[in-house]
Structure 1
Amino acid sequence: MKNLFLYIAVLLLSVSCSSTDEKAIEKQEPADVSSVTLTEAQIKNAGIETGPVQSQNLNSVLKVNGVVDVPPQNIVSVSFPLGGYLKNTTLLPGMHVNRGQVIGIIEDQGLVQLQQDYLMALARLRFLQQEYERQKELSEEQVSAAKTFQQVQADHASQKVLVKGLGEKLRLINVNPASLSENNISRSVPIYSPINGFVSKVNVNIGKFVNATDVLFELINPDDIHAALTVFEKDMAKIKVDQLVKVSFVDEPDKEYDCEVILVTRNVDANRSGIIHCHFKTRPKNLLPGMFLNASIHLENVPSLTVPEEAVVRYGNQQYIVQATGKNAFQLVNVETGIRENDRVAVSANNSELSGMSVVTKNAYAVLGKMKNTAEE
């Protein structure tokens, strides 16, 4: 029995000591102090000065990336509307072509048949034209029945439609119906370049049969080639048409080309960014679609709330300004920084109204140090 009482006493003493130790540890953990009050002597000795958050316009440079781009209307896919076999082409990707230049030759028996059908339809139209005029004259003199004239009139009109349709099919393959005769029927027809530009893709080889829907060549008109820059959503409002942009390429990082903003997209993608289109004032040589580039967008007169750069202090992973809340009283305000110019920096805060706020503009780290020392004590 005596041993039982002794065991209970030892157990209670252990629990008591454990509780005392835990309380001691809790007392040792410093509180996160974000405000402090200083004396006049401390403010004077630390050289602390205060001033308001000011509204002013800043100029800055926004660094972005992008690619060389061509608008859809400057990319031409060349196909052959009737299909056939590719007889000849000399194109290679990167070659320059002129408008009206022969870039390929297609041959097929269907081309011969089309020309034959047109000439036969044209010959019958000439016959029906003469018959129409003859029957019209007879009908007016009431020599023949009106029904006969009406039938000839309908046949003549139908044949005119047939000849017109076949003629338009010939124009689709660059054959002029007016110059076609039985003496120049050809089994092959040329394909002409519709633009001045460069060859981007060659999708066929000699001897391959191509359908009407197949793209044979892809051509690019470089006249409107431009820089497409990716800008994050938070910076989109800073971009305006006609702003100056400096562009450099990976192979020439030290050489910059002047551009100007011509279009700002009005939507953002899944990555919370948008595209800014810029025109080259002087187009670089050997400019190719898809080339990667770096750019600096010059921002002018951006309205901002600013403080001196030394008014912003960093503690942990956060940035703060020190607000003067009363007589010799100060507290931390979490902020994000932006444009920097002439030793001033733009600041913004989610939960605080910064405009006109009185903050420590000199030796803000002295106030921060006092706060954290107070917390440790």
Structure 2
Amino acid sequence: MTFTIRTNHFLFILAAVAGSLTGCRDKAPAEEPAHEHEEAEGKVGLSTLQYKSVGVVLGGIESRQLSGQLHVNGVLDVPPQNQVSISIPYGGILKYTDLLQGMWVNKGQVIARMEHPDYIQMQQEYLDAASQLSYLEKEYKRQEELSRENVTAAKTFEKTTADYHSLRVRVESLRQKLALLNIRAASLTTETLQSSVPVISPISGYVTEVNANIGKFVQPNEVIFEIVDTRHLHVELMVFEKDVPKLREDQKVRFILANESTSREAEVHLIGREISAERTVRVHCHLLKEDKDLLPGMYVKATIETTGGQTDALPGEAVVSAAGKHYIFLQTVEEKGASTNPAEEHTDEAEREQIHFRAVEVGTGVSDDGFTEILLPEGFDRNTRNIVLKGAYDLLSKMNNSEEEGHHH
């Protein structure tokens, strides 16, 4: 009785162990696809026919000097010496002008005439003082001669000398005042007194402001006209301080105006040495070609081309993106029986055999002239010639499709 119980108990244990082993065998095949998919992740294969159809081209890393780009904003401006505000030092009435905004004027051209009784009064005072100075100069020389011969008192000579020098100062002062009114004192006589005075343009340029009309009384130093010489326009760009180390003089600049698609060219001429409250630095750029259609104050969007040193680079189409990351593909060792020269394979063999590739995540830098800077992962063999230069997009597409099918299964 006791023996039977133990035998049954032993058989029960054996049955349980066998069931557990059978359960393990049943579960194993279900785990294999996931394992296979994990091994295949980041890898993709092409048949030799697909290889030829895609037109895969292999190559290696190149060392190139690439240009980076800074995208900045700015305005068109002119140097202070090429933009003038015209006024007169003594108030008067605008008697004549034919200026309109947009007109071109030349340096030295009479652009207006002003009149006021005070102008005539100043001319009269100058002529009177000049006449007195002529008489007093003769008297001064006479007293000087008498003083040397001890004929006249020293006190008389001293007074004559003081009067003479004082009048000379007054005549020179009046002459300078008349010069401010563009009146040549040297040619002034009682017959050439001028009731109006000319306003002369100090530079050549376009009229940008006309602030008075004929008959208006213009206050002293009130701006009547503004003239800008647009032949010396420049671009003032605002560059953030973090980007200033990338700047160099003579770097190429391309800029466009608002609502325009055609770019114009300039080059960096001066880099500011002061950081504004907005943490920016002013960069002064010269236009490479004069353009009379441009006006000061116009806003521009600009691109500064910054050139770095030699860097690792690949053609742009060799670098693909997925989920915010950048990849390149490497052709790996083929499976047994795969061709090393797909072009020489027969069709039936080409349909069976696979050429394998592996995706490698890389960093990217600047892009220029069809090439992209590549930041390689640690341990990467930069001398390899198995990098896919052409066909990377097709490989990425096939890899993504394979992964989606794997997820569905």
Contact 1:262 1:279 in 2 (8 A): no
List aligned pairs for 1:193-342, cutoff 5 A.
193-231=201-239, 236-249=244-257, 253-254=261-262, 256-257=263-264, 259-267=265-273, 269=276, 270=278, 272=280, 274-281=282-289, 283-293=290-300, 295=302, 297=304, 302-306=309-313, 313-315=321-323, 318-319=324-325, 335=363, 337-342=365-370
Aligned length: 326
Q: TM-score, normalised by structure 2?
A: 0.63
In the superposition, relative to structure 1, how do residues 249 and 238 fare at CA in structure 2: closer, same or farther (>3 Å)? same
CA shift for structure 1 position 134 = 2.1
Q: Distance in 1 between matches of 2:131 and 2:297?
A: 54
**What's 1:175 paired with?**
183
Q: Is the 8 A contact 1:241 1:263 kept in 2?
A: yes
Per the alignment, in what secondary structure is the counterpart of residue 253 of structure 1?
A: coil
Deviation of 1:227 after TM superposition, in Å, equals 3.6
Q: Residues 364 and 372 of structure 2 are in contact (CA less than 8 Å); yes or no, is this contact kept in structure 1?
A: no
Change in Cα spacing, 1:95 to 1:42, as seen in structure 2 (3 Å) is closer
Relative distance call for 1:41 and 1:66 in structure 2 (3 A) is closer
Q: Which amino acid aligns with 1:261?
A: E
The residue number in structure 1 matching 2:84 is 76
Take 2:151 and 2:68, find their aligned partners in 1: how far apart are those partners? Answer: 94
Map Cα deviations across residues 58-114 of structure 1 (whole Å, 9 max, x no partner).
Answer: 246666554432222210111101222222222111111112211111112221221
Does the 8 Å contact 2:361/2:377 carry over to 1? Answer: no
Amino acid at match of 1:98: N
Q: Contact between 1:66 and 1:230, CA under 8 Å: does it hold in 2?
A: yes
TM-superposed deviation, 1:126? 1.5
Q: Does 1:116 align with 2:124?
A: yes
Cα deviation per residue 1:11-53 (whole Å; 9 max; x = unaligned)? Answer: xxxxxxxxxxxxxxxxxxxxxxxxxxx7699868699xxx998
Q: Is it true that 1:346 corresponds to 2:373 in the alignment?
A: yes
Query: Do the aligned residues in 2 keep the contact of 1:67 with 1:227 (CA within 8 Å)?
Result: yes
Letter in 2 for 1:339: S
Which one of 104, 107, 113 corresponds to residue 105 of structure 1?
113
Cα gap change, 1:121/1:66 in structure 2, threshold over 3 Å: closer, same or farther? same
Distance 1:274 1:139, change over 3 A: closer
After superposition, the Cα gap between the structure-2 partners of 1:197 and 1:45, relative to the gap in structure 1 and judged at 3 Å, is closer
* Shift of residue 266, structure 1, vs aligned partner: 3.2
Q: Which residue identity lines up with residue 297 of structure 2 in the other structure?
A: G
Tell me, in whole angstroms, the C-alpha distance in 2 between the residues paired with 1:185 and 1:241. Answer: 55
Partner of 2:95 in structure 1?
Answer: 87
Partner deviation per Cα, 1:118-153 (whole Å, 9 max, x = no partner): 111112111211211222222223222111111111
Range with greater deviation from structure 2 (244-253 or 194-203): 244-253
Do 1:58 and 1:339's aligned partners in 2 also have CA atoms closer than 8 Å?
Answer: yes
Q: Which runs of 5+ in 2 are unaligned?
A: 1-37, 48-58, 329-358, 405-409
Structure with more of its chain in strand, by fraction? 1
Kept after mapping to 2: 8 A contact 1:94/1:200: yes
The amino acid that maps onto 1:290 is G
Shift of 1:189: 0.7
SS of the counterpart of 2:283? strand
1:337/1:138 Cα in 2 relative to 1: closer, same or farther (>3 Å)?
Answer: closer
Please, what is the CA RMSD of the aligned residues?
A: 4.5
Distance 1:266 1:135, change over 3 A: closer
SS at match of 2:158: helix
Tell me the distance in 1 between the aligned counterparts of 2:310 and 2:249: 17
Q: Gapped runs of 5+ residues in structure 1?
A: 1-37, 323-329, 373-377
Greater displacement, 88-97 / 270-279: 270-279
- 1:286, CA displacement in angstroms? 2.8
The CA deviation at 1:243 is: 4.0
Identical columns (%) = 36
The change in CA–CA distance for 1:223 and 1:284 in structure 2 (over 3 A counts) is: closer
> Residue 275 of structure 1: CA displacement?
3.0
